[in-house]
Amino acid sequence: METLSPQLQTLKDTLADQGVKYALASFVDIHGMCKAKAVPIAHLGQMMHGSELFTGAALDGVPQEVSDEEVAAHPDPNSMTILPWNPEFAWFASDLYLKGKPFDACCRGILKTVLAQAAEMGFMFNLGIETEFFILKESEDGRVHPVSDRDILAKPCYDLQGLLDNYAWVDEIVESMNRLGWDVYSFDHEDGNGQFETDFAYCDALKMADRLTFFRLMVKEIARKYGYFATFMPKPFANRTGSGAHYNMSLADLETGENLFVDPDDARRCGLSSLGYQFIAGVLRHASAICAVIAPTVNSYKRLVARGSMSGFTWAPVYVCYGNNNRTNMLRIPLGGGRVECRAADISTNLYLGAAMILAAGLEGIREGLDPGEPHTENMYNYSLEELNAKGIKMLPRTLGEAIEAFAADPLSKAVMGPLMYDAYVNFKTQEWQEYHNHVSDWEIQRYLKFF
């Protein structure tokens, strides 16, 4: 029988009273995907003190050799989440340790380091994520389709019929989120057939990163219960809108909780404070490097195009600029002000790393008192490339290859990630781009095989 502190004993008793049999010491790989070991509740105390070891070399982007000592997962008791679809398990987000010290390449630890820098400046980083995803079914011939046979509109955004046809699984996801205390305030059918979005309350960035990590696991498992599958691929269909994960960001006073981005007397009439504009300027300065982390896959850049969906514009930004309540900018200040929305991020993002990069850039803008210039209120998609060049507006990276080059060249990247994760990220993503670049696609076969 293990001897526990009063706090751990209370936690163990609470879990046992709720019927929990196993605890999950969970962390993420470079993709932000959950990895874990399951531990019987009888051994909860050992797990909370780092008993569960993992061979980093067995995972994507965990920079270890096979001969290296294993990393240990140290669960955060404040992150405890009972699985709504299987309440015999309790999930804990964990920090990785190596030889008794925080592991330099732990994604969660990287975010915590930047959050500590913000705290030294008196700031708390609040973050809300708009979660877009597809739920699909697979036919016997291997093709995938929306769950509802009526989900065939050319412009399906906000389609009530499509939403109601999917009510059973949507309701289970929303009910699960609310039981976890996430406070869902809306959900809808999005702009792609089979695509949906949930919107829930913002919170501090570490908690939100834990929640998004868990959310993707939960949605996949609930969809599977109904015989469907969920995908968080950014752009699964060439002619449909991709799935974003818009970062809605603000800084709050660490002591009072007051939103420091609010200014109703803003001379630029966006409702944003000078601190918020400085934050924006820092993000714009490092936008290309940030893009490699908030849009981290080859497929991400099929979403970051101005046009390409049957309903018209893709709603994804392609230019490094900001504006008011205008969805054609990378950074948008929604109606009412007080927050900044980054629209370039997609749902495949590893939020621990993405939030760390974008926060660090924003803090740099504040430290240096940068100014982003005047907001763009016009439709940025309507400008020609020549007109954009004349205005000094740059494009976001057009491929993962371009994004990784920008990431590798920007000193902010190594400063945020640390040398170990910086090298691992550059090497892993460079290899991903090279493998894609060397792949001969169906498009090439159809276009060239019998042509030449």
What phi, psi does 375 have (nearest 5°)? -70, 150
Residue 227: per-residue pLDDT: 97
Q: How far apart are CA 388 and CA 293, in angstroms?
A: 25
The mean pLDDT values, 10 residues at a time, for the chain of 452 residues are: 83 95 98 97 96 94 91 97 98 97 97 98 98 96 94 95 97 98 98 97 98 98 98 95 97 98 96 98 98 98 77 74 92 96 98 98 98 94 91 95 98 98 97 96 95 94
Amino acid making up residue 120: E
Residue 452: per-residue pLDDT: 94
Torsion of CA 83, 208, 189, 381, to 10 degrees: -160
Residue 61: per-residue pLDDT: 82
8 touches 47 (CB < 8 A): no
Residue 16: per-residue pLDDT: 95
Q: How far apart are CA 73 and CA 28, in angstroms?
A: 11
102 touches 95 (CB < 8 A): yes
Helix (H) or strand (E) holding 179: helix 167-179
Tell me the CATH number of domain 16-101, given options 3.10.20.70, 1.10.3370.10, 2.60.40.10, 3.30.565.10. Answer: 3.10.20.70
- Sheet with 123-129, side-by-side order of all strands: 203-204, 123-129, 247-253, 340-342, 331-332, 322-323
Residue 183: per-residue pLDDT: 98
CATH 3.10.20.70 domain position(s) in the chain: 16-101
Residue 306: per-residue pLDDT: 74
Q: Which fold has domain 115-445?
A: Creatine Kinase; Chain A, domain 2 (3.30.590)
354: CB partners within 8 A, 6+ apart: 247, 290, 293, 294, 296, 345
Helix (H) or strand (E) holding 73: strand 71-75
CATH 3.30.590.10 domain position(s) in the chain: 115-445
265: CB partners within 8 A, 6+ apart: none
What phi, psi does 130 have (nearest 5°)? -90, 115
